[in-house]
Structure 1
Amino acid sequence: MDWQPHITVATVIENDGRFLFVEEFKAGRMVLNQPAGHLEADESLCEAALRETLEETGWEVELTALLGIYLYTAPSNGVTYQRVCFIARPVRHDPERELDADISGITWLTRNELADQPERWRSELVLQCVDDYLAGISGPLELLR
């Protein structure tokens, strides 16, 4: 059996009780997700998280901690994703920056606003990562090598 997980990164970004999400069109519907994407060749996990966040939201962020490493198998295609999720703080926004083609916009939501829209989550990891952040789960970035 040829099985290979896809490595992705994501960032949980909170500002005054609201979290930054991207709105993207996937599998025929508009979904919410943390800024996230795939690790590219010759790129560190931290570099990937910073790049994906900027490309998808126009926000420069500072990574402050590792939130967790998650495994998720998409029911739609059976692909397993290993998600390395970071905590980040917003630094600077460029509202004129063109976002990735598959991103239709960004939005800031509270945890409850997100929880009230489960039909819009790209996966259950979207709320899980917010809840883990609110529970105070984190590790030092030095864990990543």
Structure 2
Amino acid sequence: MSWQPHITVATLVQDGERFLFVEEHKAGRDVLNQPAGHLEAGETLRQAALRETLEETAWSVALTGVSGIYLYTAPSNGVTYQRVCFSAHPLRHDPHRALDDGILRAVWLTRDQLAAAANRWRSELVLRCLDDYLERGAYPLDVVCD
């Protein structure tokens, strides 16, 4: 039996009390997620986080830490994902940049606004990653050996 986890990255971009999320169309519904995606061949985890954040939100960010590493098996398809979640702060927004296919918009939400929209989370990791970050902060970036 062959089993292989899918490696993904996500970025918690903080601006004061607000965090950057994407609203995307997935499996027939509009859901909320951190800017996130799959690691591509030849790139580091940090590069993937910066790329995915830019492609999905049109925001350039500076990574500030690693907030957690998670294993999640999607109940919809049984696929296991390993998510490396980074923290970041915003640098620049390019309002003319086209967003990735399936991304409807980038949106800034507080923790309470996200919690109130539980029926729209892409997965339980959306709030869990944020709450873990708010509870314990982030580890230094150098814990990731690229």
Question: Shorter chain as normaliser: what TM range?
Answer: over 0.9
Alpha-carbon deviations, 1:64-113, whole Å to 9, x = none?
Answer: 00001000000000000000000000000001100001101111111011
Name 1:77's counterpart in structure 2. 77
* Alignment partners' CA distance in 1, 2:12 and 2:42: 24
Q: Which amino acid aligns with 2:21?
A: F
Name 1:15's counterpart in structure 2. 15
Please give the residue correspondences for 1:84-99 in structure 2 after superposition, counting only pairs within 5 Å.
Answer: 84-99=84-99
Please give the residue correspondences for 1:1-145 in structure 2 after superposition, counting only pairs within 5 Å.
Answer: 1-145=1-145
| Sequence identity percentage | 68
Q: Give the TM-score of the pair, scaled to structure 2.
A: 0.98
2:139 counterpart SS class: coil
* Alignment partners' CA distance in 1, 2:75 and 2:15: 32
4+ runs of 1 displaced by more than 3 Å?
Answer: none
* Alignment partners' CA distance in 2, 1:14 and 1:56: 16
Alpha-carbon deviations, 1:98-140, whole Å to 9, x = none?
Answer: 0001101111111011001111000000001111111133111
* Alignment partners' CA distance in 2, 1:51 and 1:142: 19
The alignment yields a C-alpha RMSD, in angstroms, of: 0.6
Q: What residue ranges of structure 1 are gaps of 5+ in the alignment?
A: none
Q: Which amino acid aligns with 1:96?
A: H
* Alignment partners' CA distance in 2, 1:38 and 1:52: 8
* Alignment partners' CA distance in 1, 2:77 and 2:51: 26
* Alignment partners' CA distance in 1, 2:128 and 2:79: 19
* Alignment partners' CA distance in 1, 2:126 and 2:77: 18
Alpha-carbon deviations, 1:34-59, whole Å to 9, x = none?
Answer: 00000000000000000000000000
* Alignment partners' CA distance in 2, 1:10 and 1:73: 16
TM-superposed CA distance for 1:7, in Å, is: 0.1
